[in-house]
Structure 1
Amino acid sequence: MKLRPCIDIHNGKVKQIVGSSLVDDGDMARENYVSSKDAAFYSNMYRELGLSGGHVILLNAVDSPYYEMTKQQAIGALMANPGLLQVGGGITADNAQEFIEAGASHVIVTSYVFKNGKISYTNLKKLLKAVGKERIVLDLSCKAKNDKDVHVQGASYYIVTDRWQKMSDVRLCNETLEELSNYCDEFLVHAADVEGKQNGIEEKVVKVLADWGKIPITYAGGVGKISDIEKLKKLGKGKLDVTIGSALDIFGGHLVMNDVIAACD
């Protein structure tokens, strides 16, 4: 299991937020940490630590007055270390190549692919044509809700879009993972209900991902202790990588980065 580093940018600043608190109206979010450093600083730090395959996420909507500030921060991180990081947030077939040319190894896509609650194969194919399967990460971040399928016991997890604010009709399951793996190189999955809360991982999500586990998958959400990493490694059957944000000391948390790197090895 590898630690995949992250740089989340909101209103032009590197931040760690409670994921479920993000609201486009007014560009509001409950903040765990706001950095005085720019995104390029963290990009360079990750390179020096030997970490790769992480992601830069733009947390403002494209029509936000803060979007251009946020985008410039992201571009700075990508250009500082070309090929080191992936990028997501407002990615479409029209702008994906711009981010690749700026230094992104992959583009991370959710809302463009899941339109009106459904998978848009039209947009998926446009994205494939624009950058190629090997450059695409599909973000299958999800939240729990009671399933309408009488054959499914209890809550299931459904993919959420538009910065985790809109629930889709697409369930996180083997069939979905199998189908969408034909269109991407990796999956990124934030368990949005626990994202930024440091109260433990979403075990059911981890099990769904590990039971399939055929291409690289990065899990994010809820890690607050070294024991959470150990649990993720066990439940993930060694098939999942992890992203940790608010709990890390570099973002004001109590987990020492080098201890986390060692725990993931």
Structure 2
Amino acid sequence: MIEIWPAIDLIDNKSVRLTEGDYATKEEMKRTPEEAIAFYTRYPQVTRIHVVDLMGAVKKQPTSSAYIETLFKRSTVPIEIGGGIRSEKTIQHYLEAGASYVIVGTKGLQDRDWLAKMTTRYPGKIYLGLDAKGEKVALNGWTEVSEQTIYEVAEAVNDLPLGGIIYTDITKDGKMGGPNVEVTGALARFSKHPITASGGIRSLEDIRKLEKAGVAAAIVGKAANTHAFWEGLDDD
């Protein structure tokens, strides 16, 4: 089975979920981030936890780094962190504080030379967050949509020593309606890097479809907060 990475999205140190990246749709999760980590790490299928500083993504710099560092210490599995990571100082700080991987988005997409330097200095530790509306890349906390396609970006970074690429279809995110298997699979075939799917994943059936499409891992948000999702995986 492909790897499963439950998501914890943070605003004001609380675990929340958004729909289509719209901050006005903020829904606070019943479990605190600490409780979510304890819940997720009970399941052997969980090989990593995906944490995002949502306000950091908008403000273009980390807003909850001190709190996030406490989460690193609570997890028995690796944690990857994203949101507002736009400098080597931040990358180095998170890695030294206990993050196993960091996710860069807008800065890496807009400054390819910087991304090349960072991936060379921290090989395998940096993931590129490729958030898009369909195939068009979004920037700055999903508030802007560029003319770049995900395929153009994937081709441009093919030779960089990235850990992988995380593709999120914003139109699917938070809706529990299923992932964009077709586009994610096409990106997996196109890219030399492992592709992680994000957005809309709700069930074992979705996981199987993504695996068949050649996807390496799946980030699961709302569904991961339910016992039903994990019971389905146990039965597989």
- Residue 220 (structure 2) pairs with residue 247 (structure 1): no
Question: Which of the residues 52, 59, 63 maps onto 2:54?
Answer: 59
Q: Which has the larger radius of gyration?
A: 1
C-alpha distance after superposition, 1:109-162 (max 9, x if no partner): 0011123xxxx1232134236x51221100111113xxxxxxxxxxxx122111
| Matched residue type, 1:49 | Y
State the percentage of identical aligned residues. Answer: 23
- Structure 2 equivalent of residue 149 of structure 1: none
Q: 8 Å contact 2:184–2:197 — kept in the other structure?
A: yes
Q: Distance in 2 between matches of 1:82 and 1:254?
A: 20
* 2:56 is the counterpart of 1:80: no
- Find the counterpart in structure 2 of residue 136 from structure 1: 126
Which stretch has the larger CA shift, 45-54 or 105-114? 45-54
Q: How does 1:1-265 map to 2 (within 5 A)?
A: 1-22=2-23, 29-37=24-32, 39-50=33-44, 51-61=46-56, 68=63, 70-81=64-75, 84-91=78-85, 92-115=87-110, 120-128=111-119, 131-144=121-134, 157-173=135-151, 175-183=152-160, 184-212=162-190, 214-234=192-212, 236-237=213-214, 239-248=215-224, 250=225, 253=226, 255-260=228-233, 263=236
In the aligned structure 2, how far is the partner of 1:44 from the partner of 1:216?
Answer: 27
SS class of match (2:21): helix
CA offsets per residue over residues 44-65 of structure 1, 9 Å max, x none?
A: 443332322331111003785x
Structure 2 CA distance for partners of 1:121 and 1:232, relative to 1, 3 Å: closer
Q: Which runs of 5+ in 1 are unaligned?
A: 23-28, 145-156
Instruction: Give the distance between the partners of 1:215 and 1:204, measured in 2 at CA.
Output: 17
Q: Contact 2:41 / 2:77 at 8 angstroms: preserved in 1? A: no
Report if the CA contact (8 A) 1:190-1:221 is conserved. Answer: yes
Q: 1:62 to 1:246 in 2, by over 3 A?
A: closer
What is the TM-score with the length of structure 1 in the denominator?
0.76
State the TM-score, normalizing by the size of structure 2.
Answer: 0.85
- What does the per-residue CA deviation read over 1:194-220, in whole Å, with 9 as the maximum and x for residues that have no partner? 100011221332232232253322101
Measure the CA separation in 2 of the matches of 1:255 and 1:82.
Answer: 23
| Counterpart code for 2:47 | S
Cα pair 1:9 1:57 within 8 Å, conserved:
yes
Q: CA RMSD in A?
A: 2.6
The one-letter code matched in structure 1 to 2:208 is E
SS of equivalent residue, structure 1 residue 219: strand
What is the count of residue pairs matched by the alignment?
A: 231
CA shift in 2, pair 1:231/1:121, >3 Å: closer
Residues 83 and 97 from structure 1, CA distance in 2 versus in 1: closer, same or farther, beyond 3 angstroms? farther
- 2-side partners of 1:243 and 1:262: how far apart? 20
CA distance in 2, matches of 1:18, 1:97: 31
Instruction: Provide the rounded CA distance (Å) in 2 between the counterparts of 1:62 and 1:201.
Output: 22
